[in-house]
Amino acid sequence: MIGAYGSIVLDEGLIVAARHLHLSAEQAGIYKLSDGETVCLEKKGERPTSFGGFAVRVSDRFDMEAHIDTDEANAAAIKNGDLLRLCRGDGK
């Protein structure tokens, strides 16, 4: 694996991506968010949950989509296509 801070060789391993929210520049403008900001997302319904620590990532190559760890999504009964509510702050 090669990254910004060097490289490492592993016989075994895994990567757990940080929670993040993709937005186009237009969408970021609508929600008054900027690249690198941290927000929280809430899920209503049978298993209401709030997840903080979503890094906002803005690019015109993106469309609005939240990426969350599979185990966290399963625990909150979140499925692809579910709607989440944006909340200000990092949720801490």
Give the domain CATH number at 80: 2.40.40.20
Backbone angles phi, psi at 21, to 5 degrees: -120, 115
Spell out where 10-75 has E strands.
20-23, 38-43, 49-58, 65-67
Residue 2 lies in a domain: no
In a domain, 3, yes or no: no
Instruction: Tell me how many domains the chain contains.
Output: 1
Instruction: Answer whether residue 59 is part of any domain.
Output: yes
Asked, for residue 7, whether it belongs to a domain, the answer is no
On whether residue 28 sits in a domain, the answer given is yes
Whether residue 1 lies inside any domain: the answer is no
Q: Is the pLDDT of residue 92 over 70?
A: no
Q: Report the pLDDT value the prediction gives residue 13, as an integer from 0 to 100.
A: 82
Q: For residue 91, name the pLDDT band (cuts at 50, 70, 90).
A: low
| Residue 12, pLDDT score | 87
Q: Does residue 54 lie within any of the structural domains?
A: yes
- pLDDT tens string 39-75: 999 999 888 999 999 999 999 999 999 999 999 999 9
Per-chain mean pLDDT for the chain: 91
Its domain, for residue 42, covers: 18-87
pLDDT of residue 46: 87
**pLDDT given at position 73:** 93
Residue 75 belongs to a domain:
yes
